[in-house]
Chains A and B, each alone.
Chain A
Amino acid sequence: NAGVTQTPKFQVLKTGQSMTLQCAQDMNHEYMSWYRQDPGMGLRLIHYSVGAGITDQGEVPNGYNVSRSTTEDFPLRLLSAAPSQTSVYFCASSYSRQGKTYEQYFGPGTRLTVT
């Protein structure tokens, strides 16, 4: 199993540009999530999904969109990049049992710089 994969690994954007960060998992996990990691702020949840066709906002959703058309894929779209979105982005997935979710498996991350 490849686990959770993310592309690209690095990206530089100009303010106002848009882009999509890709995330895929091959573990048939129902739960998937996107986090951003900033120094001194730990991990902050951007959006999450509990299954195909179901998404919801996390702690810091503004400026980001998600969709979940398949169990495997959970792309994150930056609509109009801003310097405040410079961060490291992690995708994660988790299995569910009887409505409960457990440990998460993380991708390697995307380091995004917005100039």
Chain B
Amino acid sequence: AQSVAQPEDQVNVAEGNPLTVKCTYSVSGNPYLFWYVQYPNRGLQFLLKYITGDNLVKGSYGFEAEFNKSQTSFHLKKPSALVSDSALYFCAVNWAGNNRKLIWGLGTSLAVNP
């Protein structure tokens, strides 16, 4: 069965420290992987995606993510966290560009403390 897991409901990090938000997936075939961010009372915003090519992808607001095929992971990272990064982060995966089969993680709440 296809699935996405965000193993941490909440991540706390101090401002200026590196942050990681974890995502693992299970999908047959070639995964298309996405990260989205949701600020309070707002819609989701696309951050970055992995389709093919370099395993390290860079996205908006200084975020990056590394695709690891052997570990079936796509962790979101940022070298230096900002208080304004505090938000809800969602990982999503589909099989080879089929959004009819897009699977969402349940989200990870990131709190960056001043």
Give 1 or 0 for each of A1-36: 1 = CB within 8 Å of chain B CB: 000100000000000000000000000000101000
Interface presence of A61 (CB below 8 A): no
Distance in Å: Cβ of A41 to nearest Cβ of chain B: 7
The contact size tier of chain B is 20 to 34
Within 95-112 of A, Cβ neighbours of B (below 8 Å) are at 99-109
> Any chain B CB within 8 A of the CB of A45?
yes
Q: Give the size category of A's interface with B.
A: 20 to 34
Main secondary structure of the interface of B (DSSP, over half): strand
Is B14 in the interface zone, CB < 8 Å from A?
A: no
Interface residues in chain A, defined as those with a beta carbon under 8 Å from any beta carbon in chain B: 4, 31, 33, 40-43, 45, 48, 50, 56, 90, 92, 94, 99-109
B residues engaging A (CB < 8 A)?
32, 34, 36, 41-46, 49, 51, 90, 94, 96-100, 102, 104-107
Q: Are B105 and A109 in contact (CB under 8 A)?
A: no
Q: How many whole Å from A85's CB to the nearest CB in chain B? A: 19
Chain A interface helix/strand/loop/mixed: strand
Point out the residues of chain A lying under 8 angstroms from B102, CB to CB: 45, 104
**B46 to nearest A CB, angstroms?**
4
